Amino acid sequence: AKNQGCGSYAIHDQNMDAEAEQRSEMGQALRQALLNDEFVLYYQPKVHMVTGAVTGVEALLRWQPEGKPLVMPDRFIPVLEETGLIVQAGAWVLQEACRQLMVWRSHGMPPIGVAVNVSARQLQSPGFVELVERVLKETRLEPRWLELELTETIFVDNASDNVRVLRRLADLGVSLAIDDFGTGHSSLSYLSNFSPRTLKIDRSFLSEAEDGSDNVVIARAIIALGHGMGLNVVAEGVETEAQADFLRGYGCDQMQGFLLSRPQPAERMEQWLRARIQ
């Protein structure tokens, strides 16, 4: 069995090499994609759980290489992060999302919020707070309509530096949300020295969520924890009426998911928003 293990290691290494090569090729292609403006934002709405009122949209990045199929973020975000290109790409996302929100307003739509995902590497990059400040000023978006979604990983490494940056962002008046809450392997203690405005329950807790299952117990506990700390709790990845019902029953504040709408390009999202608001 040991020998077999050795053999499978060699194969594993080869796969790793091939994978590393593929990634570095993708890194090159992504660098070019930034120059060629091949990124697009899709938007997914979020509504108030009880009234159904639209509270905002989340901006989700897509890569559209010319003449090729759309590429989803799970495939390219890790490469953007490894190469550091996420700093540049993330700046574009922030700028574009805020700009789009103001375009919708200029079309006479009632104000809604926009949530932008921010990776740890981006948060830690020099000048990030200044970037946010500049984008808000240039787009004239009031800070409270911008929500930055961060995962718990930022509380694992360089936690105290990161908390300092988060405080400065909070001072600007932007909203902060903890994304994928409950999956991050971080201790909960950070919540007591830094308060986000929102917790987003990871969608893994909604799958197979039938009454009495462990996931339902966890989702319920997260809602109680969030409310105990005065936070807004959002469920993501809501796909069925049954999920919406139990979340509503437990007092979850807002929801997002395919049940409402899949992420869509700006124009289609605008149509969706109009239909919903009238």
Tell me which residues touch ligand C2E (CB under 6 A). Answer: 44, 60-61, 72-74, 77, 90, 93, 117, 119, 179-180, 203, 236-239, 257-258, 263
**Phi, psi (5° rounding) for residue 239?**
-115, -20
Q: Is residue 117 a contact point for Ca ion (CB under 5 A)?
A: yes
Would you say 93 or 191 has its CB closer to ligand C2E?
A: 93
Amino acid, single-letter form, for residue 85: L
Q: Hey, CA dihedral for 111, 49, 166, 117, is it positive or negative?
A: negative
Strand partners, 47: 54, 255
The interface region with Ca ion, picked from 43-51, 62-70, 116-124, 138-146 by CB under 5 A, is 116-124
Among 147, 152, 180, 253, binds Ca ion (CB under 5 A): 180
**Which tokens belong to 46?**
């979020």
Rounded to a whole number of angstroms, the minimum distance from the CB of residue 55 to Ca ion is 15
Would you say 20 or 188 has its CB closer to Ca ion?
A: 188
Q: If binding means CB under 5 A, how many residues of this protein chain bind Ca ion? A: 5
Q: Is residue 147 a contact point for Ca ion (CB under 5 A)?
A: no
184-188, Cβ contacts within 8 angstroms, sequence gap of 24 or more: 184/151, 184/152, 184/153, 184/155, 184/156, 185/152, 185/156, 186/152, 186/153, 186/155, 186/156, 187/155, 188/225
Helix (H), strand (E) at residue 42? strand 39-48
Q: What share of the chain is helix, strand, coil (3-state, %, to 5)?
A: 55, 20, 30
Would you say 96 or 180 has its CB closer to Ca ion?
A: 180
Helix (H), strand (E) at residue 186? none
Q: Is residue 152 a contact point for Ca ion (CB under 5 A)?
A: no
The interface region with Ca ion, picked from 3-11, 24-32, 88-96, 117-125 by CB under 5 A, is 117-125
Rounded to a whole number of angstroms, the minimum distance from the CB of residue 36 to ligand C2E is 18
CB distance 167 to 188 below 8 Å? no
CB distance 85 to 122 below 8 Å? no
Distance CA 29, CA 64 (A): 11
Would you say 226 or 237 has its CB closer to ligand C2E?
A: 237
Would you say 243 or 250 has its CB closer to ligand C2E?
A: 243
Residue 239 binds which of ligand C2E, Ca ion, none (CB < 5-8 A, kind-dependent): ligand C2E
Would you say 180 or 253 has its CB closer to Ca ion?
A: 180
Q: Is residue 179 a contact point for Ca ion (CB under 5 A)?
A: yes
Residue 152 binds which of Ca ion, ligand C2E, none (CB < 5-8 A, kind-dependent): none
Residue 60 binds which of ligand C2E, Ca ion, none (CB < 5-8 A, kind-dependent): ligand C2E
Residue 74 binds which of Ca ion, ligand C2E, none (CB < 5-8 A, kind-dependent): ligand C2E
Amino acid, single-letter form, for residue 216: V
Q: Can you give the binding site for Ca ion, defined by CB under 5 A?
A: 117, 149, 179-180, 236
